């Protein structure tokens, strides 16, 4: 009896965050999606260290250089390309004395480095994922393409959250004609096919990763707005909100300091799904030629090149297709895990 009472007390002392994590980690698929998402994020952040045509570290005549960070193209008479041809990872020049040491990334190729002599080379020990029609290393472009896809996903969802949270909070808190106007605006946006709207807008804008981020964000706020509005409609009738109004608290203080923190749980779930959707939209736009301008690497752009060589250059289809599939699946699994872990029925 005492043990059960202690267990119940410990359960009650858990914070909401701890309870969500407890239920989330009980789902193996959600955990797998989380670790995959973290791995993709680390690859995107460290892309220059993983794939680059410049050494990470270079030493000559008792001087140290970090070309990846400083942007040095060459030091004295040494050309990166000539050095890389002799040793792809670590090069220690012999002879009468040591002239230089260069430490290369695991993938010693730039995503924009052309080599027409190795055009459409199949996967090998030199090019692990093969090359494209311009002789560019596919693995290097895949690694740097992860940075593009995740940047678009996070920034676009951030823009959508700012717009959706503000409009949803206004609709749910003030009600009346404000709620009617914003609700009709949401319904109008939902009736328009989002992807075709994005294509129509991008047709009038110059190719740019920033334009893609903004356009996806400006067209993807409706989900967050609906969730926040529904939560605010419930919260504004609670006693602590009425007490704050009676004490003379300003509307902005009530909305942003007291109501919004209690309404963010479903919004976070929607945001995770939104990242997956933004990655898919960016890849689709790049595949259709409306995405990031060349030579910026993108998974969709690599996949688009495969259309002309699909019969014999299978690696141009398989590897970017798998990357898109794995990233979208990972974020969807995380979103489903969060949605289930935040279910209030689990805390009863």
Position 83 pLDDT exceeds 60: no
Flag whether 270 is in a domain. yes
Dist CA 203 CA 302 (whole Å): 21
Task: Output the CA–CA distances (angstroms, integers) from residue 167 to 123, 256, 274, 284, 336, in the order listed.
Answer: 50, 13, 17, 28, 25
User: Which pLDDT does position 99 carry in this prediction?
Assistant: 63
Q: Do 316 and 168 share a domain, yes or no?
A: yes
Between these two residues, 224 and 203, which has the higher pLDDT value?
A: 224
**Per-residue pLDDT tens digits for 14-67:** 677 788 888 888 899 999 999 999 999 999 999 988 988 878 777 776 677 777
Q: Do 166 and 291 share a domain, yes or no?
A: yes
Q: Do 76 and 194 share a domain, yes or no?
A: no
Number of other residues whose CB lies within 10 A of the CB of residue 201: 16
Position 215 pLDDT exceeds 60: yes
Dist CA 298 CA 285 (whole Å): 10
Which residues on neighbouring strands pair with residue 59, listed in sequence order? 64, 101
**Per-residue pLDDT tens digits for 276-325:** 999 999 999 888 888 888 888 899 999 988 888 888 889 999 999 999 99
Dist CA 306 CA 210 (whole Å): 26
Flag whether 129 is in a domain. no
Find where tokens 């967050």 sit.
Answer: 224
Q: Do 343 and 202 share a domain, yes or no?
A: yes
Domain that holds residue 97: 53-104
User: Which pLDDT does position 93 carry in this prediction?
Assistant: 47
Flag whether 64 is in a domain. yes
DSSP codes joined into one string, 54-71:
S-SEEEETTEEE-HHHH-
Q: Can you say whether residue 346 is alpha, beta or left, with left for phi > 0 and alpha for psi between -120 and 50 degrees?
A: alpha
Percent of the chain with pLDDT over 70: 84
Position 88 pLDDT exceeds 50: no
Tokens of 156: 């676009």
Instruction: Specify the 3-state DSSP secondary structure of 148.
Output: helix
Confidence of residue 346 (pLDDT cuts 50, 70, 90): low
Q: Do 193 and 283 share a domain, yes or no?
A: yes
Number of structural domains the chain divides into: 2
Tokens of 259: 């109501």
Flag whether 112 is in a domain. no
Comparing CA positions, the residue from 50, 67, 64 lying closest to residue 105 is 50
Flag whether 325 is in a domain. yes
User: Which pLDDT does position 77 carry in this prediction?
Assistant: 44
Instruction: Specify the 3-state DSSP secondary structure of 158.
Output: helix
CATH code at position 321: 1.10.3720.10
**How would you class 88 by CB atoms within 10 Å of its CB: exposed for 0-12, middle for 13-18, buried for 19 or more?**
middle
User: Which pLDDT does position 79 carry in this prediction?
Assistant: 57
């Amino acid at each position: 009896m005492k043990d059960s009472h202690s267990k119940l007390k410990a359960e009650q002392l858990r914070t909401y965050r701890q309870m969500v994590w407890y239920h989330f980690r009980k789902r193996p698929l959600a955990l797998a999606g989380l670790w995959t998402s973290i791995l993709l994020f680390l690859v995107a952040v460290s892309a220059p260290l993983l794939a680059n045509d410049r050494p990470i570290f270079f030493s000559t005549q008792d001087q140290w250089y970090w070309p990846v960070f400083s942007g040095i193209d060459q030091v004295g008479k040494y050309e990166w390309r000539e050095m890389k041809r002799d040793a792809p990872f670590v090069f220690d020049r012999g002879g009468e004395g040591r002239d230089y040491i260069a430490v290369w990334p695991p993938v010693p190729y730039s995503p924009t480095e052309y080599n027409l002599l190795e055009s459409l080379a199949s996967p090998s020990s030199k090019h692990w994922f093969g090359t494209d029609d311009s002789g560019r290393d596919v693995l290097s472009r895949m690694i740097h393409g992860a940075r593009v896809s995740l940047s678009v996903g996070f920034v676009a969802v951030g823009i959508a959250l700012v717009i959706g949270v503000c409009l949803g909070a206004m609709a749910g808190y003030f009600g009346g004609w404000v709620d009617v106007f914003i609700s009709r605006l949401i319904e109008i946006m939902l009736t328009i096919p989002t992807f075709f709207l994005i294509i129509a807008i991008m047709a009038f804008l110059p190719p740019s990763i920033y334009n893609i981020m903004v356009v996806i964000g400006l067209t993807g706020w409706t989900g967050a707005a609906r969730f926040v509005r529904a939560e605010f409609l419930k919260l504004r009738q609670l006693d602590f909100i009425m007490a704050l109004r009676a004490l003379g608290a300003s509307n902005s203080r009530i909305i942003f300091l007291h109501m919004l923190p209690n309404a963010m749980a479903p919004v976070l779930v929607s945001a995770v799904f939104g990242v997956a959707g933004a990655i898919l939209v960016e890849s689709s736009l790049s595949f259709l030629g409306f995405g990031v301008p060349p030579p910026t690497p993108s998974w969709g752009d690599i996949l688009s090149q495969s259309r002309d060589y699909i019969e014999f250059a299978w690696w141009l289809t398989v590897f970017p297709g798998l990357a898109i599939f794995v990233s979208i699946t990972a974020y969807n699994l995380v979103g489903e895990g969060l949605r289930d872990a935040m279910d209030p029925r689990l805390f009863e």
